Amino acid sequence: MNRSKLFSAVSLAAASAMLLAACGAATPAPTAVPPTVAPAATAVPATAAPKPTDVPKPTVAPTAAPAAFVGDKLAAPDCNYGGSMKAIEAVDATTVKFTLCAPDPAFPQKITGSSFNILSKDDIAKTGGDAKKIGENPVGTGPYILKEWKHGDSLTFTANPNWWGGAVANKQLVIRWSKEAAQALLELQSGNADNITKVATEDFDTVAKDKNLKLIPVEGLNIFYVGFNVNTPPFDNEMVRQAFAMAIDRAKIVKDYYPEGSTVANGFIPPSFKPGPSPDIKWYDYNADKAKQMLVDAKFDFNQEIPLSYRQVVRVYLPSVDKVAQEIQAQFKKIGVKIKLTPKESGTFIKSSTEGKEPFHLLGWGADYPDATNFIDYHFGAEHKQFGKAFPDILEQIKVGATNSDVAVRQAAYDKINTMLKQHVPVIPVANGYSAQAFRADVTNPIANPVSSTDFWMIKGAKDTFVSVQSGEPISLDCADETDGETFQACDQIFEKLLGFKPGTVELKPLLATAYKANADASEWTFTLRPNVKFSNGAAFTANDVVASFARQWDASNPAHKGDTATFDYWASYFGGFLNAKK
């Protein structure tokens, strides 16, 4: 066969192939999507399947047409099932729309959590949504891929060649863990690690003074508070609660028992949230004399001994729990109030305080997402019993703050709430505790994030392998069904969310979504997805992956509604009940 005959044959074959391909590729008819469809076991296509009559004439297409995108959709029949999600729909390959049962201005912040990482639809189907199987060979769009998980010892990651963000700073990332802060610090000091993600309060100074190390403080998106049950005497008297608020020298507590950077709380919402805190509304100043006088006026019984309950668990918001409890006890003694310290087992304490059985207690809260709703709605909403009866005036403003997308309107509502909290004093906000990460001094671009995982992809160590030591082993690599930060840290190297945070801040930044918009009342959120993103296995990322990742959590009848414990805590916490859940 000579060259021209060969060329003709190849051309003929190519033309035939194109023709056949064109015949096979059907363009779906633009079918109207009903507002809701019956909940199905799996996400259902939003558009109708192509009909045989839709086949275009073969002569039209000179080249093979790309396969048409069929978007998935999952919708609740109504909003009476107990949750706040109404529908999730892949409008097209790069657009996904969430419809909520009620307005939610914090929706973008909520889905920045690692529980809302996007997995590949195919991988979800392949693994059946089983966290263990997902973790064996995790397929994500993030900067790293898992090389090996030596259970009990370490996780090793290598660069994801398909990552849309380009090259990562280190060839290899190793995450190890140590429960002992002193031991982790030794690892860093000896050069066996490049980073430790938690520095003990007592080690802040050591790290700061070591020229081989760098201390990176992390803003405290948390609150430590003294709580009351306002139904229980003597705390059913507002004046007593106000007096107690004045009796605590919060500045002394922060100065003596918190690491550098920590601040005296001016309200219940962390200072950097927008909207939320009200800098002009000052909390009660420490005034022991006035506090005592108010208690006398309120006919407070100074002979009674008041139990102060707490759990002996160290948290960023309360790094020295026993010492702080003793300090508070000593401060009350100065005005003649007898406090009996009552430490309790953590689980028991959380349960009883949540049920409103701890009249006077110490507790705190760390942000799940940086919005005031995460602090105010949870603690002072109608269903929360920790502080006793709910206050109708606060409830009214909570509704305004949580159902409006206008920042100014929301801020006005939170200003009122902050004033009311000062008036009613169901809690005494005490401190916003800082934490810190530490790096070797030779690490370039060391950054620590206040609410999201560390962006290791942009932090360059002195060697090819960057070693980070955190305080615990991840539970799995499927974060949809997990709640702890150590697990999130590992997941977030492999998977990405629609939105993330700018390094070191709580300011939203695009990740898998490049843009998003809400309707007027913030009950419908539409996200435009980043084009040309691939998963680590080479598969293209589309809106259907987003739908599948959310649908497996939302729909209890979805075969992939499995995860680790199948509780999907964050979904339940943010969006209420599950679709098709067993009654």
Tell me which residue of 181, 185, 154, 203 sits closest to 467, measured CA to CA. Answer: 154
Among 151, 209, 211, 517, interactor with another protein by CB under 8 A? 151
Residue of 50, 65, 52, 51 lying closest to 20 (CA atoms): 65
Alpha-carbon span 370 to 373, nearest angstrom: 9
Report in angstroms how near the CB of residue 357 gets to another protein at its nearest.
Answer: 13
State which of positions 453-472 bind another protein (CB under 8 A).
465, 467
DSSP SS3 for 555: strand
Interface characters, 27-66, with another protein (x: CB under 8 A)? ----------------------------------------
486 binds another protein (CB under 8 A): no
Q: Are 194 and 425 within 8 A, CB to CB?
A: no
Give the nearest distance from C-beta 486 to another protein in angstroms.
12
At its nearest, how many Å lie between another protein and the CB of residue 321? 14
Residue with tokens 């259902």: 44
* CB of residue 147 to another protein, shortest distance in Å: 9
Considering only residues 97 to 136 of the shown chain, the ones binding another protein according to CB under 8 A are: 130-132
Q: Which is nearer to another protein, 234 or 474 (CB)?
A: 474
Distance CA(348)–CA(339), nearest Å, equals: 21
Query: Residue 58 burial (CB < 10 Å; 0-12/13-18/19+)?
Result: exposed
Residue 367 near residue 270, CB atoms below 8 Å: yes
Q: Which of 94, 178, 452, 549 binds another protein (CB under 8 A)?
A: 178
Interaction of residue 172 with another protein, rule CB under 8 A: yes
Q: Which of 84, 1, 115, 27 is nearest to 565 (CA)?
A: 115
Place of tokens 């610090």: 185
Of 273 and 575, nearer to another protein (C-beta) is: 575
154 lines the binding site for another protein (CB under 8 A): yes
Please identify, using beta-carbon distances, which residue of 36 and 154 lies nearer to another protein: 154
Pick out residues in 362-391 that bind another protein (CB under 8 A): 368
Express the helix, strand and coil content of the chain in percent, nearest 5 each.
30, 20, 45
Could you tell me the smallest distance in angstroms from the CB atom of residue 574 to another protein? 11
Q: 127 burial class (0-12, 13-18, 19+ CB within 10 angstroms)?
A: buried
Cα 74 to Cα 87: distance, rounded to the nearest angstrom: 6
Q: How far is the CB of 211 from another protein (least distance, A)?
A: 14
Q: Which is nearer to another protein, 3 or 582 (CB)?
A: 582
Residue 230 DSSP SS3: coil
476 contacts another protein (rule: CB under 8 A) = yes
Number of residues that bind another protein (CB under 8 A): 48
Task: Candidates 37, 102, 186, 341: give the one binding another protein (CB under 8 A).
Answer: 186
Interface pick for another protein out of 11, 192, 304, 444 (rule CB under 8 A): 192
Stretch that binds another protein, among 96-104, 138-146, 226-234, 564-572 (CB under 8 A): 564-572
**Beta strand pairing status for 95-100 and 85-92?**
antiparallel
What is the C-alpha to C-alpha distance for residues 99 and 101, in angstroms, rounded to an integer? 7
Kindly state the smallest distance separating residue 418's Cβ from another protein, in Å: 23
Shortest reach from residue 116's CB to another protein, in Å = 16
Residue 118 CA, chain-centre distance (Å), reads 14
Stretch that binds another protein, among 72-80, 191-199, 258-266, 522-530 (CB under 8 A): 191-199
Residues 199-258 that bind another protein (CB under 8 A): none
Are 269 and 222 contacting, i.e. CB atoms less than 8 angstroms apart?
A: no
User: CB of residue 44 vs another protein: minimum separation in angstroms?
Assistant: 25
Q: Euclidean distance between the first and final Cα of the chain, in Å?
A: 73
177 binds another protein (CB under 8 A): yes
With CB under 8 A as the contact rule, the residue among 137, 526, 573, 580 that binds another protein is 573
Residue 422 CA to residue 269 CA, distance in Å, equals 13
* Interacting residue with another protein among 484, 503, 510, 521 (CB under 8 A): 484
Token pair for 42? 């799996």
HSE-CB for 543 with a 13 A CA cutoff: 24
Residue with tokens 């949540």: 354
Name the residue nearer to another protein (CB basis): 132 or 252: 132
> Residue 562: helix, strand or coil by DSSP?
coil
**Based on CB atoms, which residue is closest to another protein, 317 or 332?**
317
Q: Is residue 505 a contact point for another protein (CB under 8 A)? A: no
Q: Which one, 530 or 562, has the nearer CB to another protein?
A: 562
Cβ proximity to another protein: between 136 and 507 the closer is 136
Using the minimum distance from each CB to another protein, give the nearer residue, 295 or 467. Answer: 467
Only segment of 6-14, 92-100, 180-188, 256-264 that touches another protein (CB under 8 A): 180-188
The β-bridge partners of 149 are 155
134 CB-contact burial (10 Å; exposed 0-12 / middle 13-18 / buried 19+) = buried
Q: Which of 271, 503, 510, 577 binds another protein (CB under 8 A)?
A: 577
Q: And the tokens for 574?
A: 């943010």
When asked if residue 475 is in the footprint of another protein (CB under 8 A), the reply is: yes
Q: Shortest CA distance to 537 belongs to which of 134, 259, 266?
A: 134
Closest CA to 276 of 453, 432, 484, 386: 432
Q: What residues numbered 302-361 form the site for another protein, per CB under 8 A?
A: 345-348, 350-351, 354
CB atoms within 10 A of CB 188: 24
Q: Cβ of residue 131: shortest distance to another protein, in angstroms?
A: 6
Q: How far is the CB of 378 from another protein (least distance, A)?
A: 9
Q: Which of 193, 306, 398, 543 lies at the binding interface for another protein (CB under 8 A)? A: 193
What is the distance between the alpha carbons of residues 387 and 519, in angstroms, rounded to a whole number? 35
Do 193 and 468 meet the contact criterion of CB atoms below 8 Å apart?
A: yes
HSE-up of residue 171 (Cα within 13 Å, Cβ side):
4
Q: Does 439 bind another protein (CB under 8 A)?
A: no
Contacting residues toward another protein, per CB under 8 A: 130-132, 150-154, 156, 172, 174, 176-180, 182-183, 186-187, 189-193, 345-348, 350-351, 354, 368, 465, 467, 473, 475-476, 483-484, 564-567, 569, 572-573, 577
